Amino acid sequence: TRDKMPPVKGDILVHAVESKEGQPIRMADLSEKLVRAWPMGKDEDGNSIIRKGDPNNILAVYRFPKGQIQAPTNLEATVEGEIVVYSDVCTHAGCSVADDDQRAGAMKCPCHSGQYDPKQGCKVIGGPPPRPLAQLPVRLDGENLVVGDFFLQNPYPFNEAEWEARK
Ligand code: FES
């Protein structure tokens, strides 16, 4: 069903946190603190549907001051080099990655302390993850943050075949 589909080009990013679930994410909501998001698309009847049926669809959204986001982040896939979106599924064993409380602007996985740098393509900067968090291309459409394309890297920790089939 469509709530289980991975992010589709044109999907709107909406808040995932329970108190705001389904509300479109606005520029003003974003900062160097992680904002969790779901992609929201349309069902068969044209009604909005949050794609939260697959936990692999959970996303991490950040906004950094201009100039801070660097390679290997794909800057073309950010909004003006300021807003960047990644899969929030740890590439080690699939836990949802959070902000690193000890280190501003870095991410830390609560399961086995994997660390990632969201300003540098979410490269691994500590712990066991085998590869970066996958970057999701986004763009601004009016006030909405929308999916520009599919993930640039494999977002599925356990499923190379699914990635091979989708990319
Ligand atoms: Fe994230 Fe193990 S699941 S470090």
Q: Is the CB of 77 under 6 A from ligand 1?
A: no
pTM score of the predicted model: 0.94
Q: Is the CB of 93 under 6 A from ligand 1?
A: yes
Using DSSP, state whether 160 is helix, strand or coil.
helix
Pairing of strands 59-63, 83-87: antiparallel
* Model ipTM value: 0.99
Nearest CA to ligand 1 atom 3: 93
Q: Is the CB of 126 under 6 A from ligand 1?
A: no
Instruction: Tell me the C-alpha distance between 103 and 15, whole Å.
Output: 24
**Residue 165 clears pLDDT 90, i.e. is over it:** no
Residue range 141-151, pLDDT digits in tens: 999 999 999 99
Q: Is the CB of 10 under 6 A from ligand 1?
A: no
Contact assessment for residue 121 and residue 137, using Cβ atoms and an 8 Å cutoff: no
Confidence of residue 109 (pLDDT cuts 50, 70, 90): very high
Instruction: Tell me the C-alpha distance between 16 and 72, whole Å.
Output: 27
How confident is the model at residue 48, as a pLDDT?
A: 94
CA of 115 to the centre of ligand 1 (A): 9
The residues that bridge with 40 in the sheet, in sequence order, are 12, 50
The residues that bridge with 147 in the sheet, in sequence order, are 138
**Residue 159 clears pLDDT 80, i.e. is over it:** no
